[in-house]
């Protein structure tokens, strides 16, 4: 599970990644189907974040392009909401 908490506002995003080794290299891909354990862990996390007054952002919302924005690492028009709130070093 990847967890991102914004330092700019009271929001967070979490996602599950499938991890595997191919030719000796770690490969991470987004996990779409959640196992029962993942759902349980996510529900505990959501409860904790709710008590901390943090709002969970959806995958769809985080993937929206923010028009007229560029960052140090992303050119004009390619920054997503995720990059603006959390990090521009990773993508989801």
pTM score: 0.79
Q: What is the pLDDT of residue 92?
A: 64
Whether residue 90 is contained in a domain is answered as no
Query: Where is 51: in which H helix or E strand?
Result: helix 36-51
Q: Above 80 in pLDDT, residue 32?
A: no
* pLDDT (0 to 100) of residue 12: 97
Please list, in sequence order, all residues whose beta carbon lies within 8 angstroms of the beta carbon of residue 86, skipping any fewer than 6 positions away.
4, 5, 6, 13
- β-pairing, 2-5 with 55-56? unpaired
State the average pLDDT over residues 8-27. Answer: 88
- Domain span at residue 10? 2-85
pLDDT of residue 20: 83
- Report yes or no on 92 lying in a domain: no
Letter string b/e over residues 62-76, b meaning 16 or more CB atoms within 10 A of that residue's CB = beeebeeeeeeebee
Domain count, the chain: 1
Q: How many CB atoms lie within 10 A of CB 60?
A: 8
């Amino acid at each position: 599970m990847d967890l991102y908490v914004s330092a700019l506002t009271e929001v967070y995003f979490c996602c599950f990644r499938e991890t595997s080794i191919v030719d000796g290299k770690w490969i991470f891909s987004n996990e779409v189907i959640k196992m029962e354990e993942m759902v349980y862990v996510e529900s505990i996390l959501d409860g904790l974040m709710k008590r901390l007054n943090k709002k969970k952002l959806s995958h769809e919302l985080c993937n929206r392009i923010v028009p007229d924005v560029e960052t140090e690492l992303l050119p004009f028009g390619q920054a997503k909401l995720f990059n603006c709130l959390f990090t521009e070093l990773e993508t989801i």
